[in-house]
């Protein structure tokens, strides 16, 4: 009996056993975006221990190769693809160091989740499904290539830097989708705008008191997948509260901070403001009323919303009144949410934008805006719109090159096979969809050329937030779909 059999595991009774074994092992390894070295080492060590071939490119992407079973050498090669990094978010009160601490997995009914942090099922479930597939001696296949990319969450860096010569397959199964029974055949492209607003500072005075204004308790979530659900954006809502206050109380902003990741809806935002002593009570009552108004407005979708005001030590330096007005203007006019729905695909968000982060420094305000669209020209439009807004604000703006979308191909031979395979596995016909989020499929497809691709996965809720959870039964169904599809491809 192996040593691992004696170890009590949170997921030891879950199926498929080897998928969950690797998932729990990977959950012990720090793997925030841009810090994936240790998890890549784990996968490489596992592969070599199983006698599988391993390739690494100069950038750090990893390919694990299972050679074709005897008699299946002429069958097509299948690429199984996922990314190893995760979004590292935690609740404010959670004590967790993502650089060294293992995730604390928990089972809650039919769900696996983590204690106060993101779970990283996006995309550990996909990677570990690939590992379980390659190591299963009972599954007879042609050549399989497990492609593990890095830094998907903050810039799709692994896909962009991939050396395509490592791959020979022309069929790719991307396992980075989050809805049971759905086959994805297209995704949005995206681009980020970084805006820097120059600010002027001055000394605070003894006649002033400092208040900390905190907007907290929001659900956050993925800025593509959850953008159409009406969730609150903490940066935008804090901006609204402060703008409302400015109509009745004169104040200076000393500091403001909120949001972090370009692909996450901000859950919390905080500002420190300075108010003359004779206006403190009016400021508190105005903000209290605004907090209650926001709670009423978002009572269904954001039941945990709170606007908390508390006294703090007075900072020596603050932004002057003109700069304070500039901050409020920026937070009010920079857009957030759905811009257009698709006319081609019912229910699909076509274009959206996310005011993802704000951070004040000495002499400037940094703003991060993330844009998505399944239409390339609409991404250009969003970029131009934000450039024009930056001009109006007197701010500097820089924009990255972005990433391409993945154009749907409803006539794909792989899709035709997958429809039949999924119907056998599910007992019902799968939905064929496109997704308003960035997948690596479009980039890898451009790099390699001629690849027929679909994307699928189990149900994952709350990705990119501490509420993230993955369905246990759904993971079994996902595994069944994967096995059935692979077997059907090789049955031809």
pLDDT tens-place string over residues 391-445: 999 999 999 988 888 888 889 999 999 999 999 999 999 999 998 988 899 999 9
Q: Which residues are catalytic?
A: 85, 152
Secondary structure, 3-state, the chain:
CCHHHHCCCCCCCCCCHHHHHHHHHHHCCCCECCCCHHHHHHHHHHHHHCCCEEEECCCCCEEEEECCCCCCCCCCCEEEEEECCECCCECCCCCCCCCCCCCCEEEECCEEEECCECCCHHHHHHHHHHHHHHHCCCCCCCCEEEEEECCHHHHCHHHHHCCHHHCCCCEEEECCCCCCCEEEEEECEEEEEEEEEECCEEECCCCEEEEEEEEECCCCCECCCCCCCCCCCHHHHHHHHHHHHHCCCCEEEEEEEEECCCCECCCCEEEEEEEEHHHHHHHHHHHHHHHHHHHHHCCCCCCCCEEEEEEECCCCEEECHHHHHHHHHHHHHCCCEEEEECCCCCCCEEEEEEEEEEEEECCEEEEEEEEEECCHHHHHHHHHHHHHHHHHHCCEEEECCCECCECCCCCCHHHHHHHHHHHHHHCCCCEEEEECCCCCHHHHHHHHCCCEEEECCCCEECCCCCCCEEEHHHHHHHHHHHHHHHHHHHHC
> Kindly report the CA angle at 135 between 134 and 140, in degrees rounded to 5?
65
Distance, in Å, from the CA atom of 104 to the CA atom of 113, rounded to the nearest integer, reads: 8
Q: What pLDDT is attached to residue 407? A: 84
Q: What pLDDT is attached to residue 344? A: 78
Among all chains, which residue has been given the structure tokens 């719109």?
A: 385
| 8 A C-beta contact, residue 374 and residue 341 | no
Q: What pLDDT is attached to residue 4? A: 41
Q: What is the CATH number of domain 190-399?
A: 3.30.70.360
Among all chains, which residue has been given the structure tokens 């996922």?
A: 82
| pTM greater than 0.75 | no
Q: How far is CA 28 from CA 101, 128, 357, in A?
A: 7, 14, 29
Q: Where are the domains of the chain?
A: 9-188+405-491, 190-399
pLDDT tens-place string over residues 316-371: 999 999 999 999 999 999 999 999 998 877 889 999 999 999 999 999 999 999 99
Q: What pLDDT is attached to residue 8? A: 66
| 8 A C-beta contact, residue 192 and residue 199 | no
Q: What pLDDT is attached to residue 439? A: 87
Superfamily of domain 9-188+405-491: Zn peptidases (3.40.630.10)
Distance, in Å, from the CA atom of 195 to the CA atom of 386, rounded to the nearest integer, reads: 9
Secondary structure, 3-state, 200-217:
CEEECCCCEEEEEEEEEC
What count of residues does the chain have?
492
Distance, in Å, from the CA atom of 195 to the CA atom of 208, rounded to the nearest integer, reads: 30
Residues of the chain with pLDDT under 70: 1-8
């Amino acid at each position: 009996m192996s040593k691992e059999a004696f170890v009590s595991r949170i997921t030891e009774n879950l199926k498929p056993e080897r998928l969950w074994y690797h998932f729990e092992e990977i959950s012990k390894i720090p793997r925030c975006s841009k810090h994936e070295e240790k998890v890549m080492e784990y996968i490489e060590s596992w592969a070599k221990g199983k006698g599988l071939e391993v390739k690494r490119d100069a950038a750090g992407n990893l390919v694990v190769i299972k050679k074709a079973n005897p008699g299946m050498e002429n069958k097509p090669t299948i690429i199984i693809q996922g990314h190893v990094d995760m979004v590292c978010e935690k609740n404010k009160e959670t004590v967790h160091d993502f650089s060294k601490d293992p995730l604390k997995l928990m089972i809650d009914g039919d769900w696996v989740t983590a204690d106060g942090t993101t779970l990283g099922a996006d995309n550990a479930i996909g990677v570990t499904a690939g590992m379980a597939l390659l190591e299963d001696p009972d599954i007879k296949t042609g050549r399989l290539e497990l492609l593990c990319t890095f830094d998907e969450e903050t810039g799709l860096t692994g896909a962009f830097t991939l050396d395509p010569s490592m791959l020979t397959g022309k069929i790719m199964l991307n396992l980075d989708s989050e809805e049971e029974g759905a086959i994805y055949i297209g995704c949005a492209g995206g681009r980020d705008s970084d805006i820097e607003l120059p600010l002027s500072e001055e000394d605070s005075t003894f006649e002033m008191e400092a208040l900390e204004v905190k907007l907290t308790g929001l659900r956050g979530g993925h800025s593509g997948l959850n953008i159409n659900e009406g969730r609150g954006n903490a940066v935008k809502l804090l901006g609204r509260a402060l703008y409302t206050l400015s109509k009745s109380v004169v104040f200076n902003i000393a500091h403001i901070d909120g949001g972090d990741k370009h692909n996450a809806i901000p859950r919390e935002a905080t500002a420190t403001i300075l108010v003359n002593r004779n206006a403190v009570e009016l400021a508190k009552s105005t903000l209290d009323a605004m907090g209650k108004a926001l709670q009423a407005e978002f009572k269904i979708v954001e039941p945990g919303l709170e606007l908390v005001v508390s006294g703090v030590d007075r900072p020596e330096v603050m932004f002057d009144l003109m700069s304070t007005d500039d901050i409020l203007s920026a937070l009010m006019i920079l857009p957030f949410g759905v811009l257009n729905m698709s006319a081609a695909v019912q229910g699909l968000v076509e274009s959206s934008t996310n005011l993802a982060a704000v951070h004040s420094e000495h002499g400037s305000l940094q703003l991060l805006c993330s844009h998505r669209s399944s239409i390339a020209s609409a991404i250009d439009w969003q970029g131009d719109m934000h450039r024009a807004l930056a001009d109006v604000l007197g701010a500097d703006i820089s924009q990255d090159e972005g990433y391409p979308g993945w154009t749907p191909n409803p006539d794909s031979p792989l899709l035709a096979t997958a429809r039949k395979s999924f119907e056998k596995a599910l007992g019902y016909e799968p939905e064929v969809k496109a997704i308003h989020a960035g997948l690596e499929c479009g980039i890898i497809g451009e790099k390699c050329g001629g690849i027929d691709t679909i994307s699928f996965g189990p149900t994952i809720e709350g990705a990119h937030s501490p509420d993230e959870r993955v369905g246990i039964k759904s993971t079994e169904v996902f595994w069944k779909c994967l096995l059935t599809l692979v077997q059907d491809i090789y049955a031809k």
